[in-house]
Structure 1
Amino acid sequence: MIAEPADSLPSETLTIPSRVADPALGRPLTIKATYYPPRGSHPAPLVVFNHGSTGQGAERGRIPREAVLRYENQARYFHARGFAFLAPMRRGRGESEGTYLESYAWNALKLAEGLQHALDDVGAVVDGMRNRPEIDSRRILVAGHSRGGLLSVAYAGQHPPGVVGSINFAGGWIAEQGMMDDFNRDVFVRAGSGADAPSLWLYAENDRHHSKAMIRRWHDAYTGVGGSAELYLFGPVEDDEGHQLLERPGLWQSAMDAFLHQLGFFW
């Protein structure tokens, strides 16, 4: 059902099969996603916007099951430019089925396992959207915030068909702390090796999780192995310590417009 509150974009909730079968249910676990359909009747490009950790660590019980991140402010930007916009909740978050398996442990193996679970969910969502008649399956962008930013770059690095670029808002899988920062860097290196889709990286200097030095280190590592990434490191963002840069479109809109034009999107 499409909900159209006076001050909201038209949206609906989609149910998309994951890649993980549940023997007890006799079917795959499902992923719920908020979908903002494009304007008009022609096939439109799609943005899949990936959420972060949701900020509550391993204590899933502290987040109501129905808590859903809809990213309507970001959807408005893309919708005005002719895009469809999808905001999925990965398994074990929001109303999606399954268990949240994206570990917060300071252990590289556990972190890698969690990242793979997340990559599987993004792949399932993109695959589930390809055949919709209103979607241009040759023009898909993956974007996200925090964990979702790194996840989007990593997914695009797998060369999925039709994915033409990635957008990274304050991306990192785990907060900078000693040797665990190498995990973030290694993910970016793997993603950049042979990457054929350009990416846009948007960070603020006062990001509470990632220092300026580390952000530049990740970018250098990604581009050093062949990845194409335009980095914007904005000055300090007041009040929110920089990590919520995505809520300040006045800062990043010009950079985003330029990136979309680079990819051939015009409006």
Structure 2
Amino acid sequence: MKHEKFNITGMSCSACSSRVEKAVNKLDGIDKASVNLLTNSMQASYDENVVSEQDIIQAVVEAGYGASPAEGGSQKQAGAPQKSASDIAKEEMKSMKHRLIWSIVFLIPVMYIAMHHMFYEWFGIPVPEGFQYVFHGDENAITFAFTQFLLILPIMYLNRKYYVNGFRNLFQGAPNMDSLVGMGSMAAALYGVFAIFRMSWGMGHGDWALVAQYSTNLYFESAGMIVTLIDIGKYLEARAKGKTSTAIEKLMDLAPKQATVLRNGVETV
């Protein structure tokens, strides 16, 4: 029986770790697989004659996540040093920070366009006349809505993993947090697209009441806000986990590497 550790990527909640465990444990030859969400790792005991390391990795990938042998694993890429869990965590946090920054960059103009009248009414923030000329009023409803739609597309693309992983897990009968986030954001975006078509129909038929109804009930900013807020939470969580892991590593380094013991009157290192 072989015991091996794997790095697991893409997990976001306890439902994810449970899904990975179930996917691996159902393989023939697996004695036990245990996933740790905090360290994004999995310990597996298996019979090498029945199941291989690659079979385990493939099972995790088919479940919608990433897997690789941990440092010291049996399979190493030729000419490339194997990444430790710490290295993988740093790469994920760097990618997460990049995604968060650009999501906020595109979200700010969306929020201003969608809520400029509220900013003026609530906080007295003046709205430039040129801005009002382009985006304010029922006659500008299509421009008002379509501009928001174009601005949330980069946000949705940057956070596409929520939609890809979320809907894939949903269709496989194992929804997780990504499924909730993806469904909420996608529903808001699709409703906004439907509203654009309704406003266009209203303008073409002179039904300005219909245009006003849908122009005041757009939720494009919600589609971008949902995933951006989740990104903020995940980034803060990743930072906290990184600091905790570093503290644990430093604590372990305090343990002496050698000890001198007295056995039968003889000191032995």
TM-score interval, smaller chain: under 0.3
What TM-score do you get using the length of structure 2 for normalisation?
0.23
More strand by share: 1
What TM-score do you get using the length of structure 1 for normalisation?
0.23
More helix by share: 2
